[in-house]
Amino acid sequence: MKTTNLRNKPVDKRRLSAEDKAQYQPQARSSALARARVRRGQLAWDNKVQLGRQEQTPGTGGFSAGLGIQQQRNREKGAELQRSKQLRSTGI
């Protein structure tokens, strides 16, 4: 796998001090490269994925027609109830 922009060249131990030679572990280099690849892949995925979000618009949320219909129905029911009460009170 290509490691674009990841520097992972072998270390020339001839240039290291005795203390640094003792501490140097080449396995750490390969595990660090693996961690860097995983992190870069996760960042790339995070940048391209679309998070699930619900669109929000100002207002009643699209129920304005339904509210108007319900209010009209309530007015009609109120008027019907009022007519029935008037018919009852006349005693015909």
Domain-wise residue ranges, the chain: 19-48
Q: With cut-offs at 50, 70 and 90, classify the pLDDT of residue 63.
A: low
What local confidence, expressed as pLDDT, does residue 91 receive?
59
3-state secondary structure of 2: coil
pLDDT, mean of residues 72-79:
94
In the predicted structure, residue 66 carries a pLDDT above the cut 80:
no
Q: What does the pLDDT look like over 1-56, one tens digit per residue?
A: 565 677 778 888 888 899 988 888 877 888 888 898 899 999 999 888 877 777 76
Distance CA 8, CA 36 (A): 11
